[in-house]
Amino acid sequence: MPCSQDDPAARNRMPTDMVLAAVRLPGHAECSDVHIRNGHVSAITATGERPEGFTTANTAADTQVVDLEGRFVIPGLWDEHVHMTQWALAANRIDLSGAASARAAVELVRNRIAATGLGAEPTMTVVGAGFRDAVWEDVPSAEMLDDATRGVPTALISHDLHCVWLNSAAARRYGVQLPADGLLREEAAFTVTRELGKLPDDVVDGWVSTAGREAAARGVVGVVDLEMTWNRDVWLRRIAGGFRSLRVDAGVYPEDLERAAGEGMRTGQEVDGGAGLLRVGPLKVLIDGSLNTRTAFCVDPYPHGGHGVLTVSEAELVTLLGRARETGFVPAVHAIGDGANRVALDAFAEAGTGGRIEHAQFVRQEDFARFGELGLTASVQPVHALDDRDAADANWAGRTDRAFPLRSLLDGGARLALGSDAPVAPLDPWLAMSAATARARNDGRGPWHPEQALTREEALLASTRGRGRIRAGNVADIAVLDADPLAAPDAVFAGMPVAATLVAGRFTFRGAGV
């Protein structure tokens, strides 16, 4: 890298100001210096030049100069839709994502139980995560799981979180009536999933801390956490315990809306005691299911029959959206099927408020323009298009030109916000941006509906809250990269080497050589 400037004596001092020296903006060959003061980008100058108005008197003596040797800088990345506790828990559960059948899944569980030597009715439930039964040729059953687990309470969570496969011992433990296939769906599944997450706070918080550090190492500066709980106090505890890796917008669910309103909370509000990292997030409302579980609400029936489920009626949704407007909450409506997206759009129009539609995986052609007309954000998860292409082809056959329709949403005027829905997909915006731009993995299958791809500039805008590039006056949330995100080959882009990450001018990740 040809550009270099450093102040060796400053490297070990605690800075009040900082200069990220010898950096490049994506698409540019020349080097610049990014000046940071009080947590904001104060100026961007040619390398070695003093910013306008510079004097010895108004520049801190302990300014740290970090030579980045021609690396590239972009605004820090946001994951706009995660379930942070579930993501941390998934890393410590049996990984079922590679199971090609129900039989293969239970064999993974059988082997884990045998390896750990668990006896019948242990204190902890054995938990697996990530199965995709929509593409299995065989079908799950309670009997199949019982045979493999021999009385050890076992719960397996689908990759989309909308389904849980229980054995009889786990059903007894959690007091649920088990259907013959052993599958609980939607709210019944969510209830059990919440119970499975009730581990000691210090254990879960430790796992979340690890997940936060790993996200920071991928250039992430913030997440919208839509965990299904009263999430503000959970994050206050974690931040009091030392969590500093990320900014967090903590969502609220309808059952807690009046509590939140009564405490004066509103979307975007900084939370006292949150170290400047914690804000109130959106109001999350689920109105349908998911593709894998075949519960996404669709206009046309699924091959097996049925249209999925609409869990909140349009009238109820209109009321909720109105209440969100009155209390200062931005609504984030989960809608996956084209029928659910139609209901959500109709409700937003009637309520006369803006907001977000989470997922927007399947949308009628005539509805794309309504996103723009209503001023809505489409909070989308591009990796799902690659994970679920087979399920979509099977369940939405002949209509997948409007499935995971990123280009159509953008052209219709939607503001795009990219995320992962972790643990449904990994908390890694580079994977999301790669899926959005290439619509393919390096697996020989080729792109799936490439006409729905975004450009890299569009993907970066949708992953940096509309910033796209660093500008003077911005908060100094910055990712430092070893490659140009606009020019790197697809494989490098998907696994982008991140050299450092800063939140408000503070390093949250600093790789070797920085």
Query: What pLDDT sits at residue 12?
Result: 39
Angular region, 275: left φ>0, alpha ψ -120 to 50, beta rest: left
Place of tokens 């909370």: 265
Q: 313-338: per-residue pLDDT in tens?
A: 999 999 999 999 999 999 999 999 99
Position 60 scores a pLDDT of 53
Residue 14 has pLDDT above 50, yes or no: no
Condensed to tens digits (0 to 9), the pLDDT of residues 351-361 reads: 999 999 999 99
CB 391 within 8 A of CB 292: yes
Structure tokens at 211: 């997940």
158-186: pLDDT as tens digits: 999 999 999 999 999 999 999 999 999 99
Question: Taking Cα atoms as reference points, which of 394, 331, 338 lies closest to residue 366?
Answer: 338
Encode pLDDT of 242-290 as tens digits. Answer: 999 999 999 999 999 999 999 999 999 999 999 999 999 999 999 999 9
Using CA atoms, how far apart are residues 83 and 491, in angstroms rounded to an integer? 27
**Which long-range CB contacts under 8 A does 428-432 form with residues at least 24 apart?**
428/215, 428/218, 429/77, 429/78, 429/79, 429/218, 429/219, 429/220, 429/463, 430/218, 430/219, 430/493, 430/494, 430/495, 430/496, 431/383, 431/494, 432/79, 432/381, 432/382, 432/383, 432/459, 432/463
pLDDT at 121: 54
Task: Inform me whether the pLDDT recorded for 7 exceeds 60.
Answer: no
pLDDT of residue 309: 97
Percent over 70 (pLDDT), the chain: 94
Q: Which of 494, 490, 486 is nearest to 26 (CA)?
A: 486
Does the structure show a pLDDT above 70 at 2? no
Domains present along the chain, CATH in parentheses: 1-70+470-514 (2.30.40.10), 92-196 (3.10.310.70), 287-417+450-456 (3.20.20.140)
Name the average pLDDT for the chain: 93
What does the alpha-carbon distance between residue 431 and residue 425 come to, in Å, rounded to a whole number?
A: 9
Encode pLDDT of 48-88 as tens digits.
887 765 544 444 557 899 999 999 999 999 999 999 999 99
Residue 210 burial by Cβ neighbours in a 10 Å radius (0-12, 13-18, 19+): middle
Distance CA 269, CA 249 (A): 9
SS3 79: strand
What pLDDT is recorded for position 120? 55
Across 44-58, 130-144, 301-315, least confident range: 44-58
Stretch 443-467: mean pLDDT: 97
